[in-house]
Amino acid sequence: MTTKKLFLSICFIIFCFRGFSQNPPIIDTLEIHQQIKLIEDKDVNLSFEKDFFRSIVYKSDSTLYYNPNGSLHLYKIQLGENLKVEKLSNGTFHGHNFNRLLFLHNDVLYSYGGEGLFNVNSSLIYFDETKKEWFEREIINYPFDSRFVVNSWVIDNKLTVLLNLSSEYYEKTSKYTKYSFGYIDLTNFEYRQEFVFNHTDYSNFTIHESEFLYDSEEYTIFGYREKNNQCRYSLFDKNTSEFFRIPFLEGLSCLGGFSYLSINKSMIYYRNQEGVIDSVNINSSPHLNSKNYIQIYRSKSKEYSFLVFLFLGAFTTLIIGLFIYQKQKSTNLSDSDNELKEIENDLIKYKGVIISKEELDDIIKISNYSYETIKTKRSFIITYMNERKKVKIERVRKQDDKRFYEYKIN
């Protein structure tokens, strides 16, 4: 055993004996990187140094999961004298999940949202350790037009979330402007919306990606590397949604496996490169550069409500006029109704058949639209057909790949 490993092992045993709550874990990143190289996941190996400390979650004081940002690889790392890295995932597929929220709930690892490959997603996926694969978790009452997870955090059994929706688009800025704020109940996986609002830019609504991340039950630490190779640290209070800095974290060097930050309840613990441990109570520290995300969202909701009220009179007049016009119209079917009935007749020919998403899009004549438009139109047409009950379209999991869906026509 090398001198460095012996020193790290002795320190780890001493610190674990004294208790994790007062001593940040010792992580031998050199040894972890060496073991990952032996697994030969080249993409992980190349991104390890920049990626590692923002892509880990703790299962226990000595066990953590590592899911490299932007991938579906998953490793279990056992810390201690006999450090061990184990590859858990079998799949070869990767997803657009850069900047996703990675968290553990009831000993199940979840990845929520993300972006990449010129696309975004708002799905909640979980890792099945038995099947060694990621699967999507269905969410009751989830907005059908959910496009992108702007910001999210877990507190107790609630996954609080701000969603960007695809139902309203502002061409001048090429932005989707409608937002839904609410939470996913992690006991029954149901989405409960609290309010909606419109805004042309979400840059002020999100916490920017960091180089270092440490997550506890009530707080998250974000570490940002500056241009001068120094680091800046901020805290997020999950109960109040406040994002802020404290004097204790000012001027700290960038963290490695030996120097580290952790939180237990309201106490922050810092171990420097020499092994000296210091701590501070967050509640007794002044909050610097503070911003409150829920307050920001609510302020935009109030602006949205005021605009709705301002134009309510004009809209009411327009609606009354349209109602009178509709009452006087002929009962003949519109071109749109005729087209939907034609689609219905085409679908009846496929009764009892399971078809792919692409085949369905061709049948209902939407495959030539953009991705977001296809998603919206497909949902509308499926709802319309199922309500008429002449033909039923049911989404079912693919037999050969349970992460994806096909459509059964009945």
pLDDT value at position 148?
A: 94
pLDDT value at position 408?
A: 87
Domain limits of the chain?
Answer: 1-99, 332-409
Low-confidence ranges of the chain (pLDDT < 50): 1, 3-21, 307, 330-333
First to last CA, the chain: 66
pLDDT value at position 93?
A: 61
